[in-house]
Every structure is written in structure tokens, then in C-alpha cells.
Amino acid sequence: MEFLYVGVALLLALALGIPIYIVLGLLAAVMFYIEGTPLMALAQIYVDHLNSITLLAIPFFIISATFMQRGGIAQALVDWANAWVGRFTGGLGIVCVTATTIFAAISGSSVATAVAMGLIMVPAMLNQKYDRSFAVGLVGASGTLGILIPPSLAFIVFAIIAEESVPRLFLAGVIPGLIQAALFITYSIWIAKRRNYPRQPPLPKDEFVAVNIRALPAIAVPVVILGGIYSGIVTVSESAGIAALVSIVVSVFVYKGCGMKDIIPIIGDSMKSTISIVMIIITALAFGHWLTKSGAPQNLADWVISLNLATWQFLIVINILFLVLGTFLEVFAIMLITLPILLPLLAPMGIDPIHFAVLMVINMELALLTPPIGLNIFVLSSITKTPVAETIKGVLPFMVILLILLIAVTYIPSLSLWLPTLVYG
């Protein structure tokens, strides 16, 4: 009954628009007080969770993404992709997905990816007579790759809560991420043929070579990040620090999209985003600590087991739950509220946590496109001056594609587990 009261209070507070970290922090404090636990213990939990090497990766990846967005790296990636595939049918659509995939392999953030690509790709597609709803929808949907293609902030948060290996989680997102990119490209080509979108002329040889040379520093960033992690030379947090440093150097001294005077303000903006994410994480972990102590997750696990659900039935229920939550909660809030409850259910149902993480992240991709909260919808609507209704219309076909991907990954675990098993055993 206590858990029910807490759940109702949580939903009411969120419905009133109170920030999620305030809701979770207050609920944790109230429940600790009611149970007679000194509030100093709550403060100690916050300190313990902040003292995390894995958590340290988040601010560095956000700094990297912000400099990429403002420093010319995103434009270099788009120019490079355009040089290779711009001349094909649906070329700008292919360019958008290709450049977004590479950008995602550096930024770790869906919103940062959508903003950077939206500012460049939507005007370019409109100039080539692409329908605005398709252009905005493609960028918004492709931007969700930022939390599936490694490195991913969503996988880092999952690793912190579930105490799983970050490199394994990153590898688990590679094949589903590439499948998603391939599906988006296929759909873009099909639409381009149906609507007779124009092709771009191939670049002259000299210009083609120049564009490729100019793109080398941008392409080198994800190679440095992921190569360092999977070779074992650096940890995830060290790799994030290197990514931030390389992004600053490349942005300031190679592409010169920002100057020395911009470094501190951009890092300041990055820290604002970091603080909001970290506040959500530590308050949710404290709330999860109380939740685990209350016995509610174990009681729920026992109840689910008593229902004798088959694993495939359980996964359907979980996917529906995430899809519903995605309509009114943001990505990290969903993860941090539900994981302490759902993780104890995985072992009895025979579900690998790494596989479950990928399912969850694909559901979170859908959440980024689902009104009324879907961040990618509102971000793109704002920066492109496109009506929200038109943006929603544009993302709908891609949501259908993501649902198909979700079903495939749900019932073919090898799509997410094969690569981490191959590399790490």
C-alpha cells in the first residue's frame, strides 16, 4: 500500500509539471523520514553515487557534443557524406542518415544530434525541393541514433543503475543502430523515387578529394573514442575526456567554427545540461535505494512469476509499458524510475540485461518522437520554424520503422547480443 501511495504521488507531481529531480528527491526524503532513517543517510547516498568513474563520462561527452555542434565538425561530416552519396536517388536523405550516424558515434546525445543535423540538413533538403515534413521527420528520427549508436548516454545511465559493463552495452547497440540507419536510408530512397526528388551532380575530382581531406579530423574523433575503449587502452571515462579535448582542438584550430574566447562559454552551456542530467540520476538512485529497501521490486517479481507469463508475453507487456510512459515522461526519467523495479524481474524470466538494455533504448528512441513530451519533435520544430503538427506528421513513418526494429530486436536477441559475446565472450 505504501508503494501505491508513492506511485500516485509521483504521477500527480509529474502531471503538475514539477521537475523530475525535485519530485524524486522529495519523495526519497519523505520516505526516509517516515521510516525513521536519518536524512544524513540520504546525503551519504548522493555522495556515494556522485563518486562514480562511470558518471564522470557524461559531462565530457556532453562537452564533446556541444563543440561538435557549434565548431564545424557536423558540417564537415555532412559535406563528406554528400561527396560520396549525394549524387544517388534520395542522396540528401542518405547524407542525413549517414552523417547523423557518425555524429551519434561521437556525441552520445539524441537532442544534440538532432539539433546539429537539423540546422544543416533541413535547409539543404528544402533547397532541393524535399517536402518539409519529410525533411524534418527524417532528421528527428535519425537524431534518435544518438542514444543507440555508441557512445550513448542512455547506455551509460543503464550501466550505472544495473551495474553492467559499459563497453558490452555499447557493442550491443551497434548492430541494431546500423539496421535502423539502413532502414531509414531504404525508406528515404523509396520516398525520393516516388516523389521524384532531384539528384545532386557529382563533385569535380579536385573538390571531392578536398572534401575528404577536410573531413579526416571529424571522422577521426569517433575512431579515437571507440578505438580507445575497445582496445582496452583507456576506460570509458578517459575516452570521454579525450573526446572532449579532441572536439575542442578540432573545432577551434581545424574547422575554426569557434574561437578561444568561446571555449569557456560553451563548456558552461555544457555544464548546465550536465547538471540537469546528473541531478535526475542521483535523486532517482536515492529513490531507487528506498524502493529496493521497501521490498516492492521483489514483491512485484514474485507476483509476475505467479502469473506464469512466458518470456515473450512479458516482453510485450514491458514494451507497451515503455511506449505508454514515453508519451509523458522524458528518456532518463523513464529509465531511472522503472529500472529499480524491472531489473529483479529479468533473471527469473531468463532475459539478459544487455538485451533488455537495447530494448529499453529503442523504446526511448520512440519516446523522443512521441508527443506530447517527445524532445526531438519540439527541438526540430523550434529550430526549423516548422509547425509541431507538421513535424509529428513527418516522424510518423519513421516511428513505424522503429516499431518494426523493436519487434525484431525483442524476439531475435542475437541482434543485440552477438557482437558483445563475440568480443568479450
Q: How far apart are CA 339 and CA 334, in angstroms?
A: 8
Mean pLDDT of 31-57: 73
Q: In this predicted model, what pLDDT tens digit does every residue of 114-145 receive, in sequence order?
A: 888 888 899 999 998 999 999 999 999 999 99
Which of 68-77, 281-290, 359-368 has maximum average pLDDT? Answer: 359-368
Angle at 95 between CA 90 and CA 97, to 5 degrees: 100
Q: How far apart are CA 399 and CA 366, in angstroms?
A: 6
pLDDT value at residue 189: 95
Q: How far apart are CA 45 and CA 24, in angstroms?
A: 14
pTM of the model as a whole: 0.85
Q: In this predicted model, what pLDDT tens digit does every residue of 107-118 receive, in sequence order?
A: 777 877 888 888
Mean pLDDT of 161-175: 93
High-pLDDT (> 70) share of the chain, %: 89
pLDDT value at residue 297: 58
Mean pLDDT of 305-324: 86
Confidence of residue 176 (pLDDT cuts 50, 70, 90): very high
pLDDT value at residue 237: 85
Q: In this predicted model, what pLDDT tens digit does every residue of 338-393 receive, in sequence order?
A: 888 889 889 888 999 999 999 999 999 998 898 766 778 888 888 888 888 899 99
More confident residue, 337 or 142: 142
Rounded to a whole number of angstroms, the distance between the first and last alpha carbons of the chain is 43
pLDDT value at residue 3: 56
> Residue 379 is placed in which grid cell?
527541438
Angle at 381 between CA 403 and CA 200, to 5 degrees: 80
CB atoms within 10 A of CB 302: 13
Q: Are 391 and 381 in contact (CB under 8 A)?
A: yes
Three-state SS for the chain is: CHHHHHHHHHHHHHHCCCCHHHHHHHHHHHHHHHCCCCHHHHHHHHHHHHCCCCCCHHHHHHHHHHHHHHCCHHHHHHHHHHHHHCCCCCHHHHHHHHHHHHHHHHHCCHHHHHHHHHHHHHHHHHHCCCCHHHHHHHHHHHHHHHHCCCCCHHHHHHHHHHCCCHHHHHHHCHHHHHHHHHHHHHHHHHHHHHHCCCCCCCCCHHHHHHHHHHHHHHHHHHHHHHHHHHHCCCCHHHHHHHHHHHHHHHHHHHCCCCCHHHHHHHHHHHHHHHHHHHHHHHHHHHHHHHHHHHCHHHHHHHHHHHCCCCHHHHHHHHHHHHHHHCCCCCHHHHHHHHHHHHHHHHHHHCCCHHHHHHHHHHHHHHHCCCCCCCHHHHHHHHHHCCCHHHHHHHHHHHHHHHHHHHHHHHHCCHHHHHHHHHHHC
Question: Which phi-psi region, left, alpha or beta, contains residue 204 (left: φ > 0; alpha: ψ -120 to 50)?
Answer: beta
Mean pLDDT of 403-423: 96
Confidence of residue 263 (pLDDT cuts 50, 70, 90): very high
Q: How far apart are CA 57 and CA 67, in angstroms?
A: 16
CB atoms within 10 A of CB 123: 12
Q: How far apart are CA 204 and CA 83, in angstroms?
A: 10
Confidence of residue 79 (pLDDT cuts 50, 70, 90): very high
With a cut of 70, say whether residue 11 has pLDDT above it: no
Mean pLDDT of the chain: 85
Question: Which of these, 256, 341, 347, 319, lies nearest to 70 by C-alpha position?
Answer: 256
Which of 139-153, 154-168, 270-284, 408-422 has maximum average pLDDT? Answer: 408-422
Cα within 13 Å of Cα(126), Cβ side: 14
Q: In this predicted model, what pLDDT tens digit does every residue of 221-254 receive, in sequence order?
A: 888 788 888 777 888 888 888 888 988 999 999 9
pLDDT value at residue 408: 97
pLDDT value at residue 205: 92
Confidence of residue 292 (pLDDT cuts 50, 70, 90): low
Q: Are 417 and 354 in contact (CB under 8 A)?
A: yes
Q: In this predicted model, what pLDDT tens digit does every residue of 177-214 receive, in sequence order?
A: 999 999 999 999 999 999 999 888 889 999 999 999 99
With a cut of 80, say whether residue 417 has pLDDT above it: yes
> Residue 47 is placed in which grid cell?
555522495
